[in-house]
Structure formats: C-alpha cells, structure tokens
C-alpha cells in the first residue's frame, strides 16, 4: 500500500513536468480569438509556470503579442532546486548558458522572469529574440510567493498548464484574486468540490475540447515512454498523449453556446445502441433517469437526467441546467431533494448496481 502511494506520488510529480505543445496552445487560443478578436486587447497576461527558455506558452504569446494587442506579457518560472524532477525539454528555444545574464551561482535557486511591454515590442525586430531578455527573480518563482503574487495582482489574465499536483491550490490562487484564466487540468478536476459548484453556477467552464483535443505533452529525454500513447515526433520531441486533460476557463468562447442536436425520447429508446435494449432506466436512489451517453440525452424529456461527466464538454447553459452530481460530496439542496433515500448518498444505483458519477441535468424550457 505504502509502495503504491509512493509510486502514485512519483507519477504525479513527474506529470508536474509535462510541457505543452505549441500547436495545442494555438488550437485552443484560436477559438477565443475567432469568437472575439479583442479578448486580450490592452490586457496584461501572466504565465506563472513558464520558463522563457523553453515554454511554448511564452513563445506563443510573444509571437502573438501584436496580433492580440497585449499591454504586457509576464512569464515566470520555478527554480530548478524546487522541482521534484529536474528536467526540461531538450529541444530548447535557445541555449541560455551563453546569455550575459546567466549566472551559474543563481540558476539553481532562482526563478526567472521575462516581460514584454507594448513599447519594447515595437523595438524588437523578431519576437523570438526578445525571449532572451529574461532576468532572475528575487526568489524561487513559487506561484504562492509574495513576489509572484504581486505579479498576479497586476495581471488581468492568467494562462498556463500548472503543476498537476498543485491544481486545487493553483485554481484557488487565481480565483482569490478574481482573475480571468485559461489553464490545463486533468479531466477528474471537474468533480472536485472546488470546481464543480463553479461550473454549475456558470462562473467557470470547459474550454474548447477535452481528451484528444490536447494531442500530447512534451517530456524530457530521461522520461520513459511506454504504451501506444507515447511517440517521438519527426523533430525528435518525445510526447505522451494522456487523453485525460482539458482546458478550464472563465473566458468566453462561442462553442459553449451551441446547443447539442439531440433525438427525441422515443427515438433514443428505439434507435440508440446504449438505450434500445433496456429503454431509459430510473435510478433506485435518485428521482432521475440514467442516460448512458451524451448523444442519448432525449431533447424532449422534462425530468431530471443523470448524464456522463464528459457531457460538460458539450454543455450549453442556455439548453440545460445543472443541478449537481451523484456524488456523496454533493449535499446541495437540489441534489438532496432528488435522493429517494436520504441515508443513501451513493452514486446512482440501478437494480442495485452502482453507476459512474453522473451530472444531474434538466432541460431549460425553450
Ligand atoms: C505541467 S508543467 C507545465 C510547464 C509549462 N506551463 C507548459 O505548459 O509547458 C508545470 C510547471 O510548473 C512548475 N512548478 C511546480 N511547482 C510550482 C510552483 N509551486 N510554482 C511555480 N511553478 C511550479 C513545474 O516545475 C513545471 O515546470
């Protein structure tokens, strides 16, 4: 047991050093830009877990500084000494040891900061070279430090792929300061008690895709690649595709307002492969029907439905209302009222068999 615990902790700490690919950042950001070209205009963007030497977030925002009309870009990194695994992608943007500000005595203990302001941007011939203008932070670059908190407070928007093991703390750190944000998280984060109520209240939402939408993360040369989910691309980058991640945000994008095209209750029962054999079943312990797939949600059913968590990727708040989820953690009045046995707060049961955690939804009257 203790051995398993250590293995899980080691895996989690290694995930903290997964790096995001340029194409995945671009694909997500394009959706916000297409929805509103001015979504970042005149704003200060902070990338708080992003080393200017090799972060594709830093590279992407420096390259798009003019297009997005940013006021200021700030990118900070965490000192190597603090990392549980010291490695970085081998194919760096440039070799920082040759830069005049490089100081071997500081490099291990200090984070770095790179800033780009509208005035400087006008004077650099190529955004890529401007990335070399970083300096050392006073401290280690921990996002929880007073130094990085001050940077957070002057930012309008916080964007990054944060350390997986500190996801809850990181989100709280953003929300405490009431900032706009766009971050990567594990799919499981949707059901965290710090996240789900905010999705339900339509204060935060999923970005433009989950699972394969993020095509994979760059891992260093020392990282062992295994299984079909790992590859080396044509440039020699080592990539793991976890199929387990999503973008979480409170920045508007168009896709979340597109209603799902759905079948009627009668058609689902007649044709949907996951419903036609049994028809829609009712839970033993919730006053709701079990819907086993998002595309099996009947468009004309007025009662409460339990739908897979992945529904949230397609959730349109104008089409459905979220009441809660079938977890013992959800003690909201709306979910308590649906429990047919107040002593049994299990996930949904059908004929005594426990189902996955489901989101409880109801259609909005059109
Ligand atoms: C998942 S990686 C992603 C890096 C980069 N944002 C990207 O997407 O390519 C998270 C980074 O946060 C760093 N980190 C870990 N703990 C941190 C902390 N407390 N404060 C700031 N950065 C931290 C890790 O060392 C790692 O470089």
> What DSSP string runs through 248-278?
EESS--GGGGSPPP---HHHHHHH-TTTTTT
Name the percent of the chain lying above pLDDT 70: 90
pLDDT digits (tens, 9 = 90+) for 94-114: 667 778 899 888 988 999 999
Cβ–ligand 1 distance for 55 under 6 Å, the answer: yes
User: Per-residue pLDDT for 90 more than 60?
Assistant: no
Q: Which fold has domain 2-256?
A: Rossmann fold (3.40.50)
Residue 89 Cα to ligand 1 middle (Å): 13
Q: How confident is the model at residue 129 (pLDDT cuts 50, 70, 90)?
A: low
Average pLDDT for residues 30-49, to the nearest whole number? 97
Q: How far is CA 186 from the centre of its chain?
A: 6
Question: pLDDT value at position 307?
Answer: 98
Q: Which residue has the higher pLDDT, 222 or 34?
A: 34
- CA gap 208, 349 in Å, rounded: 32
Residue 85: pLDDT over 70: no
pLDDT at 1: 44
What confidence category does residue 11 fall into, taking pLDDT thresholds of 50, 70 and 90?
A: low
Report whether residue 24 contacts ligand 1, using a CB cutoff of 6 Å: no
Whose CA is closest to atom 19 on ligand 1?
142
Q: Is 49 in contact with 161 (CB distance < 8 Å)?
A: yes
* Ligand 1 atom with least separation from CA of 162: 10
| Residue 57 in contact with ligand 1 by CB distance below 6 A | yes
Write the residue with the smallest CA distance to atom 7 of ligand 1. Answer: 19
Q: At what angle do helices 22-35 and 56-63 cross, to 10 degrees?
A: 40
Does this model's pTM top 0.75? My answer is yes
For the Cβ of 265 lying below 6 angstroms from any atom of ligand 1, the answer is no
Q: Whole-angstrom Cα distance, residue 289 to residue 361?
A: 10
Distance in angstroms (rounded) separating the CA atoms of residues 358 and 355: 8
3-state SS string over 87-110? CCCCCCCCCHHHCCCCCHHHHCCC
3-state secondary structure (DSSP) of residue 20: strand
Task: Rounding to the nearest 10 degrees, give the CA dihedral for residues 82, 86, 89, 94.
Answer: 70
Are 300 and 265 in contact, with CB atoms under 8 Å apart?
Answer: yes
| Mean pLDDT, residues 171-188 taken together | 97
> Residue 226: pLDDT above 90?
no
Q: What percent of the chain has pLDDT over 90?
A: 69
Are 133 and 114 contacting, i.e. CB atoms less than 8 angstroms apart? yes
In this predicted structure, what is the pLDDT of residue 203?
A: 97
**Which of 163, 184, 186, when mutated, tests ligand 1's pocket best, judged by the most ligand atoms within 8 Å of its CB?**
163
Q: Which residue has the higher pLDDT, 285 or 241?
A: 285
Given a cut of 70, whether residue 10 has pLDDT beyond it is no
pLDDT, residue 184, reads 97
Torsion of the alpha carbons at 27, 29, 35 and 36, rounded to the nearest 10: -150
**What's the 190 CA to ligand 1 centre distance in angstroms?**
20
Structure tokens given for 341: 């046995």
How does the average pLDDT of the chain come out, rounded?
A: 90
C-alpha atoms less than 13 angstroms from C-alpha of 13 in its C-beta half-sphere: 12
The residue ranges of every structural domain in the chain are 2-256, 265-363
pLDDT at residue 128 greater than cutoff 80: no
């Amino acid at each position: 047991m203790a051995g398993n615990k250590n293995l899980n902790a080691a895996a989690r700490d290694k995930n903290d050093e997964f790096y995001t690919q340029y194409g995945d950042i671009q694909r997500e950001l394009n959706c916000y830009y297409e929805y509103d070209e001015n979504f970042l205009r005149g704003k200060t963007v902070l990338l708080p877990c992003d080393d200017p030497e090799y972060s594709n977030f830093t590279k992407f925002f420096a390259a798009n500084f003019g297009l997005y009309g940013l006021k200021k870009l700030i990118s900070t990194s965490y000192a190597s000494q603090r990392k549980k695994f010291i490695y970085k992608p081998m194919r760096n943007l440039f070799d920082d040891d040759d830069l005049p500000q490089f100081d071997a005595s500081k490099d291990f203990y200090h984070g770095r900061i790179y800033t780009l302001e509208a005035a400087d941007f006008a004077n650099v011939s190529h955004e890529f070279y401007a990335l070399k203008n970083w300096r050392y932070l006073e401290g280690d670059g921990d996002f929880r430090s007073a130094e990085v908190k001050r940077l957070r407070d002057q930012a309008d928007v916080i964007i990054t792929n944060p350390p997986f093991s500190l996801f809850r703390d990181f989100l709280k750190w953003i929300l405490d300061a009431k900032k706009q944000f766009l971050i990567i998280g594990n799919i499981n984060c949707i059901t965290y008690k710090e996240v789900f109520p905010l999705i339900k209240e339509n204060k935060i939402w999923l970005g433009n895709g989950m699972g394969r939408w993020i095509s994979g993360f760059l891992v260093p040369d020392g990282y062992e690649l295994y299984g079909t989910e790992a590859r080396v691309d044509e440039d020699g980058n080592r990539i793991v595709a976890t199929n387990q991640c999503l973008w979480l945000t409170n920045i508007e994008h168009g896709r979340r307002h597109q209603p799902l095209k759905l079948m009627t209750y009668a058609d689902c029962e007649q044709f949907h492969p996951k419903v036609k054999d049994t028809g829609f079943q009712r839970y033993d312990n919730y006053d709701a029907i079990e819907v086993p797939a998002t595309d099996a949600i009947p468009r004309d059913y007025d009662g409460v439905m339990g739908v897979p968590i992945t529904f949230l990727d397609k959730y349109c708040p104008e089409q459905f209302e979220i009441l809660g989820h079938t977890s013992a953690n959800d003690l909201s009045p709306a979910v308590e009222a649906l429990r047919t046995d107040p002593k049994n707060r299990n996930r949904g049961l059908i004929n005594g068999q426990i189902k996955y955690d489901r989101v409880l939804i109801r259609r909005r009257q059109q």
